[in-house]
Amino acid sequence: MEVNMKVNLSGVELDNPIIPASGTFGFGEEFKDLYDLNILGSISFKGTTREPRFGNPTPRIAECPSGLLNSVGLQNPGIDAVINEEIPKLSKYFHKPLIANISGFSIEDYAFACEKIDKVEQVGIIEVNISCPNVKHGGMSFGTSPESAAEVTKAVKEVTTKPVYIKLSPNVTDIAAIARACEAAGADGFSLINTLLGMRIDIKKRKPVLANVVGGLSGPAVFPVALRMVYQVYKAVSVPIIGMGGISSASDVIEMMMAGASAVQIGSANLVDPFICKKIIEELPIKMQELGISSLSELKPDF
């Protein structure tokens, strides 16, 4: 049986739904010598902010039984260096549309960086991370209220021409309400989920393992939560969803797409096995044939 792995995200066609998630693949530099990155559907590159950021103090990573906690703190060289240095380097070995992950600490930050990245030809989709603390309003994440999430969406849409996908935080009571507010404000799609807040304590030192005390939990432990939230958002909106959270196999990809995702991102698994995206792309057609799935784009929740 011939299988079709192509998927479409707001008019951007991908050869397959596999996208390395922002923050786990850098700008591809560390992976380009391992395999041809052009087998990937796209790449969501390192979260980018208006100004360069050194990130949080170390230690930033704590292992957990079924995943890891990270508190990297959006370390990146800033929007100008990403546009002038990182993307030109990446374009030498990756020739497909990119997903630009943008973060900010104020509405103005988001609008400034998104307007700049919108002009970069190779960027196909702008992915807006609203899990950042709003420094002007007491540090609460933009993604925790429908009103502030919609405000970011509206501001970004006013200064961009490319599809805008809002990356949703799972640290909320009603993720569907936030998605509906963003869709009403013009969001073209969604990426979810970002990491779940967690912490570890070193019982010998009697203090937190992470210098930042809390961090974001990712990996297999969060997969069922991610699946549930993708399904809830799928039922609430009518725009495409990129599903992520603990995906580490072709079966996980199909399960996530059956929950309503149009494509997926692979995050922590890249840190465990740098060949994981390549392996999943190779396994996917075999798994599709096993399950009698001729085209990934036809997978939808029918329950």
188-242-282-296 Cα dihedral, nearest 10 degrees: -70
pLDDT tens column, 273-303: 999 999 999 999 999 999 999 999 989 998 8
pLDDT the model gives residue 230: 98
Residue 226 covered by a domain = yes
* The pLDDT value given to residue 154: 98
Beta partners for residue 34, in sequence order:
none
Residue 30 phi, psi dihedral angles, 5° rounding: -75, -15
- Catalytic one of 114, 132, 182, 277: 132
Identify whether 289 is part of a domain: yes
What's residue 133's pLDDT? 78
Q: How many residues does this entry show for the chain?
A: 303
pLDDT higher than 90, residue 129: yes
Residue owning tokens 């996980």? 252
Quote the CA–CA distance of 282 and 262 in Å, as a whole number.
19
- pLDDT, residue 159, reads 98
Does a structural domain hold residue 53?
yes
Q: Judge whether 132 counts as a catalytic residue.
A: yes
**pLDDT, position 253:** 98
Calpha distance 81→76 (Å, rounded) = 9
Given a cut of 90, is residue 14 above it in pLDDT? Answer: yes
- The DSSP letter of residue 57 is P
Query: For strand 215-218 and strand 196-198, is the pairing parallel, antiparallel, or unpaired?
Result: antiparallel
1 within domain boundaries: no
**What pLDDT sits at residue 137?**
73
Q: What is the pLDDT of residue 302?
A: 87
The answer to whether residue 303 sits within a structural domain is no
- The boundaries of the domain holding residue 63 are 7-298
List the end-to-end C-alpha distance of the chain, in Å, as a whole number.
Answer: 26
Mean pLDDT of the chain: 96
pLDDT at residue 132, rounded to an integer: 81
CATH code (residue 135): 3.20.20.70
Does 261 fall in a domain? yes
Total tally of structural domains belonging to the chain? 1
pLDDT tens, residue by residue, 146-191? 999 999 999 999 999 999 999 999 999 999 999 999 999 999 999 9
Q: Let me know if residue 2 belongs to a domain.
A: no
**Strands 263-266, 18-20: pairing kind:** parallel
Q: What is the pLDDT of residues 72-119, one digit of tens each?
A: 999 999 999 999 999 999 999 999 999 999 999 999 999 999 999 999
| pLDDT at position 174 | 97
- Least-confidence region, from 69-83, 132-146, 148-162, 211-225: 132-146
**For residues 273 and 141, which has the higher predicted lDDT (pLDDT)?**
273
Let me know if residue 15 belongs to a domain: yes
134 has pLDDT over 80? no
| Overall average pLDDT of the 239-244 stretch | 98
Q: What is the pLDDT of residue 176?
A: 98
